[in-house]
């Protein structure tokens, strides 16, 4: 097989414990499968039970009396050296200053021993590579020792020595009494949130030291994370670690060779074992984080085509599918760690550490406090309260979930309110354009306008719709973008004891982009006054054709206003403008301040529309109302719309005069027309009748 083909090598070939290993003191050989294929479960009461048997069958009440088993730094998960049988006694065998207490495991190419340093009396783990091992094994074995010697950190298993004796190579490593992370996950099922954050944080601190040395671990998984009985977290097994800018990497790792554990390998590591960087370890850390909280791996531990495709696409079940107690904030952190595209992961391990610190140290004061509380859980006996201190509050999770939903809604509402107040043109372009209009008020005065009070009153609704007050200190002012529903209004502007009123009709934004209203304030003086009427209509109207009537608000009779009429200011008047063919325009309760000699009045004349009721038809029909299907939706002609089909019963308004209505059904190829002369004194009804037998259509407007 050529080097450029994908060769799936046994996981961590350079590590002795990764070879097929025979358990010492076990009746059966352990296979070479990964820990995910054959789970090696161990009861956390096993040590306590063993101690009880030694004690003559008496149970041990003190949890500290239960013995723990050695964790062999760098051992393969399937060997379970930290939880395996006791080392087989070898007498007082001594290897270069180390007394061998017993053999933990053996394989085809090496053995693992537990020993004691003769000079220091310190327990250690010795890994032996036998003389008959291939040269590549020796290179990787020595390379592992060299890399581990560079990484000196409390969260990394310490390497004490590397030597050769009797044609065999040895690595001497720190002895850790406790368990590995796989067993912690099996113990809890789902690791509590704060505890999982602590474990991930400690792993990240060890990786930070390795990354600073340019070392990529490439095989981060639960079996390579050792947990001591004191709650310490230590990263082990640098057997396939990648050293950047190292020449011997080319010779040791062949092109196309896949090294690692599939369930924890990043997509780029699957494509090439050498195309890795810090973010590769971040991905594996994210998978471990996911597994701790979910109790399940996101991907299987197989080199199948389907599994590799899922890894490359990041296709797995959401974390909260397994554990709804995980806060969404932490889910986003893990999702970013496990992103199949490394450019979307955290740039380096320091970024992740800062994120986790914000969670951990919000509740705990320091790492020592967490470690102390965790050491209690590693024992065989602990209370619910001791476990609950690592549980994330459900109320906080629900609050974060609710805020995640409500914040976008509230943000949308605030945006709409901002547009409504500051930029209504933007909002009305897309919505409510036929129900609301925009008014601009311009006010002028011969003297400075100090304090003002402006109110817009709606006679239809019987209440004030808008009120604005303020101080401007100048003789001109303008109020922009006053949004109101379409209809008739009276604007009253009070300043310096003077009150000026004007009536206006607000058209919809679709009909008119802006409705300008002007008010002029006059100086105080006790005298008669005249009016200056302004007529607004759908066409140019001569003021002589308009009859203006007035009355004092305290009186009941209307009187015609003539150019010779002299009215006294300081009173309140009602005004009406009448013109043939238009509805009366009324401006009620206009208070004329003392001293005002000219009263500007603006009358909006609205031509009444003819009402046409469109009845439902037996078949779908398209309707044509001449050149344009534009109609009014209200009697005053303030809202416009279009009619193209006959549907549910509704009323539209049209101008008086002749009209031709044509209805068509293209499917049945029928068409009919009807003409009528509309006026606004009665209601008109459009009726259609379809003769299915003769395929004929009738239409009438009556």
The larger pLDDT score, comparing residue 638 to residue 161, is at 161
Per-residue confidence (pLDDT) for residue 45, from 0 to 100: 42
| 294: Cα within 13 Å, side-chain hemisphere | 20
What's phi and psi for 160, nearest 5 deg? Answer: -95, -40
pLDDT at 196 over 50: yes
pLDDT at 158 over 50: yes
Enumerate residues 6+ apart whose C-beta is below 8 A from 297: 36, 263, 287, 290, 291
- Model confidence band, residue 323 (pLDDT cutoffs 50, 70, 90): very high
> Residue range 663-669: average pLDDT?
84
The C-alpha atoms of residue 79 and residue 82 are separated, in whole angstroms, by 9
Task: Look at residue 200 and give its three-state secondary structure.
Answer: helix
Per-residue confidence (pLDDT) for residue 167, from 0 to 100: 82
Per-residue confidence (pLDDT) for residue 36, from 0 to 100: 36
Task: Look at residue 343 and give its three-state secondary structure.
Answer: helix
Per-residue confidence (pLDDT) for residue 75, from 0 to 100: 41
Burial group, residue 604, by CB count within 10 angstroms (0-12, 13-18, 19+): buried
Neighbours of 16 (CB within 10 A): 32
Per-residue confidence (pLDDT) for residue 246, from 0 to 100: 58
> Residue range 240-244: average pLDDT?
82
Per-residue confidence (pLDDT) for residue 225, from 0 to 100: 94
The C-alpha atoms of residue 169 and residue 162 are separated, in whole angstroms, by 7
CATH architecture of 610-701: Sandwich (2.60)
DSSP 363-429: H-S-HHHHHHHHHHHHSS---HHHHHTTSPPHHHHHHHHHHHHHHHHHHHHHHHHHHHHT-HHHHHH
Task: Look at residue 339 and give its three-state secondary structure.
Answer: coil
Enumerate residues 6+ apart whose C-beta is below 8 A from 407: none
CATH 3.30.70.890 is held by the domain 425-604: no
> Residue range 340-354: average pLDDT?
93
CA distances from 21 to 33, 86, 105, 329, 472 (A): 11, 15, 6, 43, 91
> Residue range 608-620: average pLDDT?
82
pLDDT at 11 over 60: no
Q: How many residues does the chain have?
A: 702
pLDDT in tens, 163-186: 888 888 898 998 988 899 999 999
> Residue range 97-114: average pLDDT?
84
DSSP 8-state symbol, 329: H
The C-alpha atoms of residue 500 and residue 529 are separated, in whole angstroms, by 13
Per-residue confidence (pLDDT) for residue 318, from 0 to 100: 92
pLDDT at 615 over 70: yes
The larger pLDDT score, comparing residue 78 to residue 191, is at 191
The class (CATH top level) of 7-384 is mainly alpha
Long-range contacts of 251-257 (CB under 8 A, 24+ apart): 251/139, 252/14, 252/136, 252/139, 252/140, 252/143, 254/3, 254/7, 255/3, 255/4, 256/3, 256/4, 256/5, 256/6, 256/7, 257/6, 257/7, 257/9
CA angle 186, 192, 193 (to 5 degrees): 130
Residue bearing tokens 């389907």? 306
Per-residue confidence (pLDDT) for residue 245, from 0 to 100: 65
What's phi and psi for 306, nearest 5 deg? Answer: -65, -45
CA angle 536, 540, 542 (to 5 degrees): 90
Burial group, residue 627, by CB count within 10 angstroms (0-12, 13-18, 19+): exposed
The C-alpha atoms of residue 47 and residue 40 are separated, in whole angstroms, by 16
The C-alpha atoms of residue 78 and residue 467 are separated, in whole angstroms, by 79
Per-residue confidence (pLDDT) for residue 283, from 0 to 100: 95
The larger pLDDT score, comparing residue 406 to residue 76, is at 406
The C-alpha atoms of residue 273 and residue 255 are separated, in whole angstroms, by 8
pLDDT in tens, 75-86: 443 333 344 445
pLDDT in tens, 478-525: 888 899 999 999 998 888 777 788 889 999 998 888 888 888 886 665
Per-residue confidence (pLDDT) for residue 47, from 0 to 100: 40
Per-residue confidence (pLDDT) for residue 253, from 0 to 100: 53
- Model confidence band, residue 648 (pLDDT cutoffs 50, 70, 90): low
pLDDT at 228 over 70: yes
pLDDT at 279 over 90: yes
Per-residue confidence (pLDDT) for residue 87, from 0 to 100: 55
Per-residue confidence (pLDDT) for residue 525, from 0 to 100: 54
- Model confidence band, residue 257 (pLDDT cutoffs 50, 70, 90): low
Per-residue confidence (pLDDT) for residue 513, from 0 to 100: 84
> What is the residue-averaged pLDDT of the chain?
80
Per-residue confidence (pLDDT) for residue 280, from 0 to 100: 93
Per-residue confidence (pLDDT) for residue 568, from 0 to 100: 85
What's phi and psi for 17, nearest 5 deg? Answer: -65, -10
CA distances from 326 to 288, 377, 576 (A): 15, 20, 71
Stated as kind and residue range, the H or E segment containing 450 is: strand 436-458
The yes-or-no answer to whether 425-604 and 610-701 have a common fold is: yes
pLDDT at 88 over 70: no
- Model confidence band, residue 72 (pLDDT cutoffs 50, 70, 90): very low
Beta strand 436-458 pairing with 515-521: parallel
pLDDT at 4 over 80: no
Per-residue confidence (pLDDT) for residue 599, from 0 to 100: 87
Neighbours of 312 (CB within 10 A): 15
pLDDT at 137 over 90: no
Task: Look at residue 87 and give its three-state secondary structure.
Answer: coil
Domain boundaries, the chain: 7-384, 425-604, 610-701
- Model confidence band, residue 565 (pLDDT cutoffs 50, 70, 90): confident
The larger pLDDT score, comparing residue 559 to residue 430, is at 559
> Residue range 601-609: average pLDDT?
86
pLDDT at 66 over 70: no
pLDDT at 475 over 80: yes
The C-alpha atoms of residue 164 and residue 404 are separated, in whole angstroms, by 60
Per-residue confidence (pLDDT) for residue 239, from 0 to 100: 82
- Model confidence band, residue 249 (pLDDT cutoffs 50, 70, 90): low
């Amino acid at each position: 097989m050529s080097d450029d083909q994908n060769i799936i090598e046994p996981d961590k070939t350079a590590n002795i414990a990764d070879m097929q290993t025979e358990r010492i003191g076990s009746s059966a050989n352990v296979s070479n499968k990964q820990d995910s294929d054959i789970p090696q479960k161990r009861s956390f009461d096993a040590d306590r039970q063993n101690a009880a048997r030694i004690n003559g069958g008496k149970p041990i009440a003190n949890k500290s009396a239960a013995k723990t088993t050695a964790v062999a730094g760098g051992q393969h998960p399937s060997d379970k050296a930290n939880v395996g049988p006791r080392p087989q006694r070898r007498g007082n065998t001594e290897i270069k200053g180390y007394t061998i207490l017993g053999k933990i495991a053996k394989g085809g190419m090496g053995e693992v021993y537990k020993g004691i340093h003769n000079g220091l009396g310190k327990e250690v783990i010795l890994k032996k590579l036998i003389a008959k091992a291939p040269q590549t094994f020796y290179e990787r074995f020595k390379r592992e020792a060299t890399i581990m010697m560079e990484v000196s950190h409390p969260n990394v298993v310490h390497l004490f020595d590397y030597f050769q004796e009797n044609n065999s190579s040895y690595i001497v490593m720190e002895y850790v009494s406790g368990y590995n992370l796989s067993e912690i996950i099996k113990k809890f099922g789902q690791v509590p949130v704060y505890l999982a954050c602590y474990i991930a944080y400690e792993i990240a601190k060890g990786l930070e030291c390795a990354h600073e040395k340019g070392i990529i671990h490439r095989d981060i998984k639960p079996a390579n994370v050792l947990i001591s009985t004191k709650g310490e977290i230590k990263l082990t097994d640098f057997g396939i670690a990648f050293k950047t800018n190292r020449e011997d990497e080319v010779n040791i790792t062949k092109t196309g060779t896949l090294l690692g554990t599939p369930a924890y390998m990043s997509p780029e590591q699957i494509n090439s074992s050498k195309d890795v960087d810090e973010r590769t370890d971040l991905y594996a850390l994210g998978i471990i984080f996911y597994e701790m909280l979910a109790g399940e791996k996101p991907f299987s531990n197989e080199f199948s085509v389907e599994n590799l495709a899922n890894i490359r696409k990041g296709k797995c079940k959401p974390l909260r599918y397994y554990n709804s107690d995980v806060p969404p904030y932490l889910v986003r952190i893990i999702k970013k760690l496990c992103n199949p595209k490394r450019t979307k992961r955290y740039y380096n391990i320091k970024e992740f550490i800062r994120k986790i610190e914000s969670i951990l140290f919000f509740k705990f004061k320091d790492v020592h406090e967490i470690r102390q509380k965790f050491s209690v859980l590693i024992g065989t006996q602990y209370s619910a309260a001791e476990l609950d201190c690592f549980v994330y509050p459900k109320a906080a999770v629900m609050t974060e979930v609710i805020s995640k939903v409500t914040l976008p809604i509230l943000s949308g509402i605030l945006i709409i309110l901002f547009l409504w107040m500051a930029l209504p043109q933007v909002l009305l372009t897309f919505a409510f354009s036929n129900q609301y209009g925009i008014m601009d008020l311009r006010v002028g005065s011969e003297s400075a306008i100090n304090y003002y009070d402006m109110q817009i009153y709606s006679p239809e609704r019987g209440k004030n719709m808008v009120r604005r007050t303020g101080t401007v200190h100048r003789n001109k002012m303008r109020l922009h973008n006053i949004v109101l529903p379409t209809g008739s209004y009276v604007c009253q502007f009070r300043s310096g004891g003077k009150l000026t009123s004007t009536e206006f009709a607000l058209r919809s934004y679709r009909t008119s982009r802006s409705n300008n209203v002007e008010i002029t304030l006059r100086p105080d003086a006790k005298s008669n006054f005249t009016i200056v009427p302004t007529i607004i209509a759908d066409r140019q109207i001569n003021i002589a054709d308009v009859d203006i009537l007035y009355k004092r608000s305290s009186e009941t009779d209307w009187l015609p206003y003539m150019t010779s009429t002299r009215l006294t200011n300081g009173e309140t008047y009602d005004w009406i403008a009448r013109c043939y063919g238009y509805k009366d325009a009324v401006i009620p309760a206009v208070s004329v301040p003392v001293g005002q000699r000219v009263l500007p009045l603006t009358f909006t004349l609205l031509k009444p529309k003819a009402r046409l009721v469109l009845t439902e038809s037996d078949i779908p029909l398209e309707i044509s109302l001449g050149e344009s299907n534009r109609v009014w939706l209200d009697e005053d002609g303030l809202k416009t719309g279009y009619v193209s089909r006959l549907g549910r019963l509704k009323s539209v308004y049209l101008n008086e005069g002749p009209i031709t209505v044509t209805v068509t059904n293209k499917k049945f190829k029928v068409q009919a027309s009807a003409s009528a002369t509309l006026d606004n004194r009665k209601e008109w009804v459009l009726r259609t009748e379809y003769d299915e037998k003769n395929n004929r259509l009738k239409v009438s407007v009556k």
